[in-house]
């Protein structure tokens, strides 16, 4: 008897066992709803936000959210529109307005809809010590990442408003920071929620963040913000926060037909996220969720119908969430102004509960 004659029946038996396995996708269609959300890369925070949503909606059997890393900018909108396996995407609103103004996609306003207006992402301008203002960058190379990317679009608009003309560079941010340290370029621009992982993990010794002049033209287009030493130890002096601007982001859904299976999947996800949104404000999730107000609108764009319907059904719940967010922001701002110790989330929650009980008594 040869070795082959012995092995052949064993392999045949193993093949039958594998074919009979209930885990084979080809023979046993999955009953799990798979939803894909496109995020930016690891240098920003949307990957983390996508993970937070996934941890909230994944129930292990019927529903799963899969974050997909995309290129950002205009490409994200294209992925959302053109059936590339993306159901949802994080999109900067200035990029969306750019795509509409430039007429890059026909009927854009009617083909996508927003689930929620999300957090702010901040503009960072990293440079060597000799660059003390944006005016020092005129004619120098400022890296803005991929052309038509998030940072590239924001930087072009911002520099135009500031009336300066740097030369755009298109390297990925990590490589650009290496070039900056060697003196090959003038600065690195990056748009990302603070504290941006890129600037917390890269070697930024000897560099600093350049302030953005908050001119009337800039403030009319963007939201004023600040970068401080808590966000970036070593890059920002403890007693001298750096002025900058922030961009609003949103979670958008692509074209989906009402009544379709994809529509049902997204409607179920929206219901879960909105109903359990308070979970995202708990420790262990990204702090940027505290900037989200589910009822906030994005003027000029339509809201995804299931999200709009949920908000109408739960108006009283949303009002309570809005009040809680305002109350928490008041406590944080009060601590900054007075120099008092920042409260833990548990202390804030307890104080808010006391406030609600007092408010209920006032209304009786």
What would the pLDDT profile of 224-272 be if each residue is shown by its tens digit? Answer: 999 999 899 888 988 889 999 999 999 999 999 999 999 999 999 999 9
Q: Which of 82-91, 164-173, 252-261 has the lowest mean pLDDT?
A: 82-91
Instruction: Fold for 33-313, please state it.
Output: D-Maltodextrin-Binding Protein; domain 2 (3.40.190)
**Model confidence band, residue 85 (pLDDT cutoffs 50, 70, 90):** confident
Q: What's the whole-number mean pLDDT along residues 123-147?
A: 95
Structural domain spans, the chain: 33-313, 314-352
Determine the straight-line distance between the first and last CA of the chain, rounded to whole angstroms: 94
Q: Which uninterrupted H or E stretch holds 69? A: strand 63-69
**Given this model, what pLDDT does residue 10 score?**
39
How far apart are alpha carbons 36 and 184 in whole angstroms?
Answer: 39
Quote the pTM value: 0.79
**194-198, 259-263, 353-357: segment of lowest average pLDDT:** 353-357
pLDDT score for 331: 67
Class of residue 322 by CB neighbours under 10 A (exposed 0-12, middle 13-18, buried 19+): middle
Quickly list H helices, the chain.
3-20, 46-57, 74-81, 93-101, 108-111, 150-162, 173-181, 197-201, 216-221, 261-275, 305-313, 315-338, 345-363
d(C-alpha 350, C-alpha 343), whole Å: 11
Distance CA 127, CA 109 (A): 38
Give the model's pLDDT for residue 13: 41
Residue 193, pLDDT score: 94
Angle CA(140)–CA(144)–CA(98) in degrees, nearest 5?
Answer: 120
For 335-352, what is the mean pLDDT?
63
Q: Strands 208-209, 113-127: parallel, antiparallel or unpaired by DSSP?
A: antiparallel
Q: What is the pLDDT of residues 35-46, one digit of tens each?
A: 999 999 888 899
Q: Which tokens is 42 given?
A: 């690891």
Lowest mean pLDDT among 3-17, 213-227, 282-296, 342-356: 3-17
**Residue 223 phi, psi (nearest 5):** -90, 125
């Amino acid at each position: 008897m040869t070795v082959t004659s012995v092995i052949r029946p064993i392999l045949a038996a193993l093949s039958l066992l594998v074919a009979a396995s209930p885990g084979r996708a080809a023979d046993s269609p999955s009953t799990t709803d798979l939803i894909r959300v496109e995020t930016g890369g690891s240098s920003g925070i949307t990957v983390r936000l996508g993970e937070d949503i996934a941890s909230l909606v994944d129930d292990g059997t019927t529903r799963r959210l899969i974050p997909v890393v995309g290129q950002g900018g205009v490409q994200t909108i294209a992925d959302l529109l053109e059936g590339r396996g993306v159901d949802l995407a994080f999109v900067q609103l200035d990029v969306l307005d750019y795509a509409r103004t430039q007429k890059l996609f026909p009927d854009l306003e009617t083909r996508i809809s927003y689930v929620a207006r999300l957090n702010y992402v901040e503009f960072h301008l990293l440079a060597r010590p000799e660059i003390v203002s944006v005016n020092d960058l005129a004619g120098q190379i400022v890296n803005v990442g991929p052309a038509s990317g998030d940072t590239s679009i924001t930087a072009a608009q911002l520099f135009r408003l500031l009336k300066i003309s740097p030369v755009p560079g298109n390297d990925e941010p990590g490589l650009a920071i290496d070039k900056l340290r060697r003196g090959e370029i003038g600065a690195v621009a990056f748009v990302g929620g603070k504290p941006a992982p890129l600037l917390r993990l890269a070697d930024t010794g000897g560099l600093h963040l350049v302030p953005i002049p908050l001119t009337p033209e800039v403030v009319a287009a963007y939201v004023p913000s600040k970068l401080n030493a808590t966000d970036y130890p070593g890059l920002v002096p403890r007693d001298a926060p750096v002025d900058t601007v922030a961009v609003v982001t949103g979670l958008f859904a692509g074209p989906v037909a009402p009544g379709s299976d994809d529509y049902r999947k997204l409607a179920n996800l929206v219901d879960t996220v909105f109903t359990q949104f308070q979970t995202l404000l708990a420790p262990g999730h990204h702090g940027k969720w505290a900037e989200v107000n589910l009822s906030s609108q994005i003027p000029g764009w339509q809201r995804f119908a299931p999200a709009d319907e949920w908000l109408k059904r739960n108006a009283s719940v949303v009002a309570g969430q809005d009040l809680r967010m305002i109350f928490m922001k008041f406590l944080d701002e009060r601590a900054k102004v007075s120099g008092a110790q920042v409260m833990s989330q548990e202390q804030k929650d307890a104080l808010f509960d006391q406030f609600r009980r007092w408010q209920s008594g006032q209304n009786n």
